[in-house]
Structure 1
Amino acid sequence: MSRVRKDPRAERVARTLSETGRRPRLDLGRREAGPASGRPRRDPWREWAASLAGESDTGNGRKRYDRSQRQMNRVEAAHFARTRDGLDAVDVSPGQPALRVIDEPAFLVFAVVAAAGGRLSRFDRQVLGGARLLADAGEGGGAVVAIAAESIEGLGEAGADRLVVMPRASTQRERAEVLKAAVDALSPRHVLFAEEGDSADCARRLSVALGEPLFPDVEHLTARQAVRAIRNAGAEIGLAPPRLMTLGEDRARPYEDVPCEAREIEGGGEIASPDPAILSVEIIPGDPAKLALSETDFVVSAGNGVSDFGAFRDLAAAMKGTPGASRVVCDAGLMPRQAQVGASGTVLAADCYLALGISGAPQHLQGIAGCEHVIAVNTDLHAAMIERAGLAIVQDAQLVMPALLNLLKEREA
């Protein structure tokens, strides 16, 4: 940030000479401005120059940019704004990213995350974003406590100030039991769940165990109000955010500010009495090739740039992904119609999407809008799918598929 934004109202006051009736007299030749507002003003040219990493290695004259430099400018701006407004501390060391630290929070907000496979899902990040909204709005400043069964990478970037690792429970009854012990020990002001699967079930069990009402399936959450639909979505009911809530999917924005501390603390309960009716619990994963596209977490999709569909199916099986395809491939009869991805096929909500030889038609991009990570393989550097992807491989998919298969075989050996 190289410049400070001007305050036009302060400038007008500084130029006012006297009042003559309703119309003030101003000295337009006066250059002295009043006090600056203090808000940072972005310099896009400086940010663009800072992200320049050098010329490309292909010799085509294209410049290479490091986008992380522009991300760092956003973090610095957030640090400046918080320091100016007197909010909680943000530690910034030379050469190190900013870190938001809350040493003594006035209250706590629980965010119960599933984090299947040790990774935060898109829905988990939304729950943490809703908890962050409630924590920042309270008087004195609160802290977000992530409740999970294990340590998870990226909790700080998602907005968690603390982490409580709960003992892994084999049933929902045991999970609600240990969660109740954590609520009794730390006394949070709010407890947020995802309105989905086991999380929704655990929220209702916790409500019964605590003897407190649950406000389920919140559609609109602010610092002052939580709103949900009633009467078959024919009406709405709103009230001040209660203690126990479940949040609907895509009803809260993920946290996108300065990374938080995510410090692990004690507070998790123990399983006092395992359910005697259950002898063992085992999670058996489904066959990815038989899962519906709307239910899977990883999709390997083929487009017009794939001609060897035998190698494509082998790659999808080796990577334990569900096969998908673009509309062109399905229209040609090379893949079944239920494998079509896009606005006219299946709209995905997968964690990862691998696109092989797909250029990225608008209808196809609509179908993968909910995917968290997109990997694209295409020969066209300027394809829309390459622009959408978080990781792009500019190469022929027919060459990439056998290379990936060989790499997977080497790792298994």
Structure 2
Amino acid sequence: MSALRLRRDPRAERAARLVPGNGRLRYDMSATPEGPMTSPSGRLRRDPRAERQRLLTTGRDGRARLVRSGLVGQMAAGAASPASVVKKIRVEQPEFFIIVVPDLPEGRLDRTDRQVLGAARKLADAGSGAVVVVGATVDEASLGQAGTDRFVPLSDHSDPEARITELVAVMNALSPRYVLLPESEEGADIARRLAARTGLGLTVGIEALGPKQVIRPCGAGRQEWAGDLTPLMTLAPDRVSAWEGDAHEILPLETMPEKPVLAPARMTVGALQSADPATMNLGDAPFVVSAGRGVTDFTAFRSTVRALHATPGASRVVCDNGDMPRATQVGASGTILDALCYVALGIAGAPQHLQGLGRVEHVVAVNTDLHAAMVARAGLAIIADAQAVMPALCAVLAAEYGEQGA
């Protein structure tokens, strides 16, 4: 469909329908005369639908988006869609390195890891540096999108001292300007072990970071301390923004650090034991499935939660009605979640409820209202009745994984 088409001429059509009268203008609307009325006016008419279709592209998160600036002429001429051209930034000869040691829970970058990479990207872009991630095996595409330039894999050690020895070997080989870690349970332990092993300065719990100065709380958090950057630093969660620019291309290091000879392990760390999602604290649960006003079959809801191996949650209305315990309430007056994924079944999304999702990474909404606030908040939405979706989901899980669910 062309974005420009010939436009009708209403004045010519009106004049063509004019018939003689006794001093007053009369029009014969049933007439279909030939002549100027049937011919176009010669003026061009815009086609908004075709223009919008040509501006439509796919964003990095997979959502449809419109690109309006400077692309109309290119698209009209048949130029390639911007979505087909992936732009990546290459840092080929950096002047210095910044090492990031992320937690990588379950082999993925979580929210805090991305924030630490965003801080490292800020320091690297202040000069001509490159960001090096040192950690377990992880998807390099996600690392590049988070602003990583190099990647050094570590061995899977259960002995924390062996991991520190390997990290020190990487630091000796690259001579990084800074080493950044998250101020998490694991990251804080590694940072303090590195400081004890290397004797380098350490600043913990940083809340504001710049190229020349950092700020962290002191005096039980009632005051702030500002000082220079140190070789080792840990960042508090949700204080620094993640990288939102173009993805970086991960290039190989010119010389990979040699694996050190490790001494026999003095201690081993056992495998993590998964908690029972049905009884774990709602604020600590990584996967929460909640019921709202749109859920009427709570037997099917509990079966769906069990099949997904998730922690049950609920909206305030459901808890007020007594259909779910008060401890499962999500929102400003309930529990603030820190989950990886949140599935909202029949929840419209009141402001108080949405406040409970401030730190949730992925939201899935099931609702009959296309314009519900929860649908707008969700990364994936199913516009359907929750009573129809829940048994269908359980059937899919049973067919894929058996009766035990996912």
TM-score between the two structures when normalised by the length of structure 1: 0.77
Is 1:144 paired with 2:134? Answer: no
Q: Please give the secondary structure, in 2, of the residue aligned with 1:125.
A: helix
Matches within 5 A, 1:83-122: 95-122=84-111
CA offsets, 1:251-270, max 9 Å, x none? Answer: 11000001001335433744
Q: 2:276 is matched with which residue?
A: 287
Q: 1:220 is matched with which residue?
A: 208
Q: Please give the secondary structure, in 2, of the residue aligned with 1:263.
A: coil
Partners of 2:51 and 2:110 in 1: CA distance: 31
Offset of residue 51 of structure 1:
4.2
The amino acid of 2:131's aligned partner reads V
Q: Select the residue among 294, 300, 313 that pairs with 2:302.
A: 313
What percentage of residue pairs aligned between the two structures are identical? 45
Q: How many residues align?
A: 338
Q: Are the aligned partners of 1:109 and 1:131 in contact in 2 as well (CA < 8 Å)?
A: yes
Partners of 2:246 and 2:180 in 1: CA distance: 22
Is 1:369 paired with 2:358? Answer: yes
Q: 1:9 is matched with which residue?
A: none
Q: Are the aligned partners of 1:167 and 1:270 in contact in 2 as well (CA < 8 Å)?
A: no
Q: Select the residue among 272, 288, 293 that pairs with 2:262.
A: 272
Q: Select the residue among 192, 202, 213 that pairs with 2:190.
A: 202
CA offsets, 1:233-260, max 9 Å, x none? Answer: 2322212221100000111100000100
Is 1:167 paired with 2:167? Answer: no
Q: Please give the secondary structure, in 2, of the residue aligned with 1:343.
A: coil
Partners of 1:223 and 1:383 in 2: CA distance: 42
Q: 2:165 is matched with which residue?
A: 177
Structure 2 vs 1, CA of residues 354 and 273 (structure 1 numbering), >3 Å: closer, same or farther?
Answer: same
Q: Are the aligned partners of 1:195 and 1:216 in contact in 2 as well (CA < 8 Å)?
A: yes
Structure 2 vs 1, CA of residues 219 and 46 (structure 1 numbering), >3 Å: closer, same or farther?
Answer: farther
Structure 2 vs 1, CA of residues 73 and 321 (structure 1 numbering), >3 Å: closer, same or farther?
Answer: farther
Q: 1:333 is matched with which residue?
A: 322
Q: Please give the secondary structure, in 1, of the residue aligned with 2:152.
A: strand
Matches within 5 A, 1:250-261: 250-261=238-249
Q: Are the aligned partners of 2:108 and 2:138 in contact in 1 as well (CA < 8 Å)?
A: no
Partners of 2:220 and 2:51 in 1: CA distance: 50
Matches within 5 A, 1:342-381: 342-381=331-370
Structure 2 vs 1, CA of residues 402 and 275 (structure 1 numbering), >3 Å: closer, same or farther?
Answer: same
Partners of 1:332 and 1:109 in 2: CA distance: 54
Q: 1:237 is matched with which residue?
A: 225
Q: Select the residue among 134, 156, 165 that pairs with 2:144.
A: 156
Partners of 1:262 and 1:358 in 2: CA distance: 41
Q: Please give the secondary structure, in 1, of the residue aligned with 2:296.
A: coil
Partners of 1:230 and 1:372 in 2: CA distance: 30
Offset of residue 184 of structure 1:
1.1
Q: Select the residue among 232, 239, 246 that pairs with 2:234.
A: 246
Q: 1:383 is matched with which residue?
A: 372
The amino acid of 2:162's aligned partner reads E
Q: Please give the secondary structure, in 1, of the residue aligned with 2:204.
A: strand
Offset of residue 116 of structure 1:
1.0
Structure 2 vs 1, CA of residues 127 and 269 (structure 1 numbering), >3 Å: closer, same or farther?
Answer: farther
Structure 2 vs 1, CA of residues 314 and 71 (structure 1 numbering), >3 Å: closer, same or farther?
Answer: farther
The amino acid of 1:125's aligned partner reads R
Partners of 2:181 and 2:51 in 1: CA distance: 39
TM-score between the two structures when normalised by the length of structure 2: 0.78
The amino acid of 1:354's aligned partner reads V
Is 1:296 paired with 2:285? Answer: yes
Q: 1:61 is matched with which residue?
A: none
Partners of 2:243 and 2:138 in 1: CA distance: 19
Structure 2 vs 1, CA of residues 215 and 229 (structure 1 numbering), >3 Å: closer, same or farther?
Answer: same
CA offsets, 1:67-126, max 9 Å, x none? Answer: 45547989x9xxxxxxxxxxxxxxx99932100001111111111111111221111110
Q: 1:30 is matched with which residue?
A: none
Matches within 5 A, 1:184-199: 184-199=172-187
The amino acid of 1:225's aligned partner reads Q
The amino acid of 1:111's aligned partner reads V
Q: Please give the secondary structure, in 1, of the residue aligned with 2:192.
A: helix
Structure 2 vs 1, CA of residues 99 and 293 (structure 1 numbering), >3 Å: closer, same or farther?
Answer: same
Question: How well do the aligned residues superpose, as a CA RMSD in angstroms?
Answer: 2.5
